[in-house]
């Protein structure tokens, strides 16, 4: 996120992960350490609303934040799934359009403090988002950026396992070993090799749930900063990739099959990168 992502192609199998392969009930609260929200920073909010509404079937609703500023909340079947905001001048001067990944925590202040102790950087100190929750922006020791979220009135996404929703993430980093140490200490994740995955692919587990992976360092262009790449579940990767191009988006990685999965890496019309993932047919 915060930087334009490039694909890290790794063979993997997620057929044993029920969260991402079956319809799930509504979420009342995300467990600490789980991905709870995704948010697009864009240079053209109107374009983003049109693109993602057409691509994923999301319904946008604008919530006023300040004069001439609004936060777009996306829903899917009346459930909150994502959001978008217009990047300010300072952010635009530093970063391209990007997707932000949020991790649920019990205390934003404690987690931010701990991240600093572990060698990370607190880019934005904890602050209240009105009555919705408390957040901070963190950069890990190798350079990948993510957000932490302490929920109050806004828990984050309210369902999982649906097409058009986040279903996986990959941390593309030059130093998987350092990243493993940092995130295990910060969130209590268990990171390591797993059955049905290549031995050099690290799977991230939050409790009993596999939520993400870390490809081997040689799968990532060393000239590209470390970053998180988000995966959205779809029913037909080829159809969604073709539609993205029709809508003005781009294609960083054309649809291809990896084991039982099919995936592609796309960009929206403003350049924000994301991946789409088609689970096995029996899912």
Whether 10 has a pLDDT exceeding 60, the answer reads no
Residue matched to tokens 């009135």? 153
CB under 8 Å to 74, separation ≥6 — which residues? Answer: 52, 53, 58, 59, 60, 61, 80, 81, 82, 83, 84
CB under 8 Å to 200, separation ≥6 — which residues? Answer: 193, 216
Coil, strand or helix at 119: coil
Whether 249 has a pLDDT exceeding 80, the answer reads yes
What's the sign of the alpha-carbon dihedral 189, 106, 98, 58?
positive
Nearest to 34 by CA among 24, 47, 44: 24
Residue matched to tokens 């037909």? 236
Whether 269 has a pLDDT exceeding 90, the answer reads yes
pLDDT tens string 22-34:
445 578 899 999 9
Q: Output the pLDDT for position 18.
A: 34
pLDDT tens string 116-133:
999 999 999 999 999 999
In the numeric block, which tokens belong to residue 94?
Answer: 């530093």
Q: Output the pLDDT for position 282.
A: 52
Under 8 Å between Cβ of 277 and 237: yes
Find the Cα–Cα–Cα–Cα dihedral 103, 108, 110, 115, rounded to 10°.
Answer: 50
Domains delineated in the chain: 26-151 (3.10.180.10), 161-278 (3.10.180.10)
pLDDT tens string 172-198:
999 999 999 999 999 999 999 988 888
Torsions phi, psi for 104 (to 5 deg): -70, 135
Q: Output the pLDDT for position 25.
A: 58
Q: Sorting pLDDT into bands at 50, 70 and 90, what band is 159?
A: confident
Listing DSSP states for 191-222 in one string gives EE--TTS-TTSEEEEETTEEEEEE--GGGS-T
Stretch 16-41: mean pLDDT: 74
Average pLDDT, the chain: 89
Q: Output the pLDDT for position 192.
A: 96
Q: How far is Cα 201 from Cα 127, in angstroms, rounded to an integer? A: 35
């Amino acid at each position: 996120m915060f930087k334009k992502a490039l694909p890290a192609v790794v063979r993997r199998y997620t057929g044993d992960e029920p969260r991402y392969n079956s319809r799930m009930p509504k979420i009342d609260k995300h467990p600490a350490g789980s991905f709870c929200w995704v948010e697009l920073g864009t240079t053209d909010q109107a374009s983003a609303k049109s693109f993602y509404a057409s691509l994923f079937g999301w319904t946008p609703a604008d919530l006023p934040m300040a004069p001439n500023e609004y936060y777009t909340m996306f829903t899917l079947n009346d459930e909150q799934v994502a959001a978008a905001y217009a990047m300010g001048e300072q952010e635009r001067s530093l970063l391209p359009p990007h997707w932000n990944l949020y991790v649920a925590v019990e205390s934003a202040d404690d987690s931010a403090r701990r991240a600093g102790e572990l060698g990370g950087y607190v880019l934005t100190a904890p602050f209240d988002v009105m009555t919705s929750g408390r957040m901070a922006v963190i950069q890990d020791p190798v350079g990948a950026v993510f957000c932490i979220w302490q929920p109050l009135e806004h828990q984050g996404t309210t369902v999982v396992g649906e097409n058009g929703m986040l279903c996986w993430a990959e941390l593309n980093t030059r130093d998987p070993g350092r990243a493993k140490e940092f995130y295990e200490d910060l969130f209590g994740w268990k990171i390591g090799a797993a059955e049905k995955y290549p031995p050099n692919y690290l799977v991230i587990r939050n409790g009993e749930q596999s939520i993400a992976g870390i490809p081997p360092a040689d799968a990532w262009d060393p000239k590209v900063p470390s970053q998180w790449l988000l995966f959205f579940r779809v029913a037909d990767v080829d159809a969604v990739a073709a539609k993205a191009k029709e809508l003005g988006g781009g294609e960083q990685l054309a649809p291809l099959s990896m084991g039982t999965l099919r995936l592609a890496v796309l960009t929206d019309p403003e350049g924000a990168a994301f991946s789409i993932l088609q689970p096995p047919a029996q899912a």
